[in-house]
Each structure stands twice: as C-alpha cells, then as structure tokens.
Amino acid sequence: MSAILEKTVGQLVAESPARARVFEKHRIDYCCAGKIPLADACKRRNVDFDTVVRELEACDATEPVSNEPDWTKAPLSQLADHIVETHHQYLKDELPRLDAMTARVAKVHGDHAPEVVQIRSVFVEFRREFEEHAEKEEQILFPWIKRVESSGRANAPFPGATMANPIRCMEHEHESAGQALEQFRKLSNDYQPPMDACNTWRVLYASLETLEQDMHVHIHKENSILFPRSLALEQQSGS
C-alpha cells in the first residue's frame, strides 16, 4: 500500500495499465491530471480513498497479462510509433465517421434535442484541434525525440531549443481535448440515449464513449510516460 500512496495516478497506471479500470470506474482522471497524487485525485472526485486503494490492490492481485510492451522501459521511438500507429490512426479512421453521425443526428433531432447540436459543435472543434495536434507531434516532436534517442545528443532543431516548450504545448492541448470529452459525457447524459432514440443516435453515443476510453489511454501514454522519459533523456544528453 505504501508504494501506491507515494505515487501519482499517472505513475500508478504507467506501472500497471490494468489499474486504469479502477480509475475509470470512479471517473478519476489519470491522463490529463496524471501528475496528481492519488489522495488528491480521490478528493477531487469525492471518492473514498481507502476504497480506491483496496480496489487497486485487488486489481494488482489479479492483473491480466498485457499484450503491450512495458512502455516505461521500451525504446522511446517504439512508443512514439505505437502512439501514431494505434491511437492517432484510430482517430484518423474514426473522426470522419463521427463527423457524419454528429452532423446527421444534429440535423434530424436538433429541433427537439438541443444537446445533440451542442455535441456537434464540440465535436467539430475537437476534430480540428486533434488534426493540428497530431501533425505537430508527427512532424516535429516525435522525430525530435527519436533523434535524441538515436544520437545520444540533445539534437535540437535550432540552438538552445528544448523539448520542454513543445511538450508543454502538447499537454495544454491534451487538457483541451479532456474538456471536450467531459462535455460529450455531460451532454449525452453519460452516453445514455433517450428511449426513443434512432439507431444512429445510439451508435453515436456508444462510439463517443469508445472514443473517450481510447483518448484516456492515449493521453496517459504521452503525458505520464513518453513526455517525462523524453525530457529526462534530453537532460542526460546535455541539453
């Protein structure tokens, strides 16, 4: 238990991804707010701390075998490629589909369900921000991380530059994405469609919930693993 108490929620999930199930259950943010100690995170959500600790310990005792590498130890280039190939690609495939569904549901049902019009508005901005965000990571930050790792030198794109600045920018954009996810959940009544909702409406809410789950894991891997490890490597390399 002492090991759990001393760590942030992001560190706890980095060590054991299965623990995310406990945090998801209690709506404890382990991605955008991953730097917060467990006790403070429980207080934020008004969740009983001892209950969460017991559930984490039970989770550890029955943790299933993960098919993913230990990202706290795997090469940074492998983790960066994994994020692009798994999480970025998921969004690139899924966002056009969600775009069509949010537009359709808002058009057909917006006159009597204004919340779907709001969901559409939030989604449009979410998609725009992600596409810009992914391009910056794939074209600038991730190649920078790979150069530092492969060369063993700071290898900044221009003298005096440090990864700390673009990483802060990415983390700020992650917070914006997290706020959009919170709005999706609130506006959709925890992804529960009305009894008389059409199939498209039902599929939309189910798809938004899946999007939320993937984004939580995606942001966690960057904020709590890739970024701190990259900054530590850059510092070791002489930046």
Predicted confidence (pLDDT) per residue in 123-182, tens digit: 999 999 999 999 999 999 999 999 999 988 777 676 678 999 999 999 999 999 999 999
> Does one domain contain both 55 and 84?
no
Q: Is-contact 66 15, C-beta < 8 A?
A: no
Task: Tell me: do 36 and 128 sit in the same domain.
Answer: no
Q: How confident is the model at residue 63 (pLDDT cuts 50, 70, 90)?
A: low
The residues, ordered by sequence, that sit 6+ positions from 112 with a Cβ below 8 Å of its Cβ are none
The reply to whether 120 and 224 lie within a common domain is yes
pTM: 0.88
Shared domain for 150 and 204, answered yes or no, is yes
Counted domains in the chain: 2
Weakest mean pLDDT among 92-101, 146-155, 193-202, 224-233: 146-155
Instruction: Please indicate, yes or no, whether residues 128 and 35 belong to a single structural domain of this protein.
Output: no
Residues 137, 219 share a domain:
yes
State the Cα–Cα distance between residues 152 and 154, nearest whole angstrom.
Answer: 7
Q: How many residues does the chain have?
A: 239
Domain co-membership, 143 together with 195: yes
Q: Are 6 and 40 in contact (CB under 8 A)?
A: no
User: Which residues span the domain enclosing 16?
Assistant: 2-61
Q: How far apart are CA 9 and CA 79, in angstroms?
A: 20
User: Cα dist. 157→67, 77, 140, 147, 149 in Å?
Assistant: 35, 17, 9, 10, 14
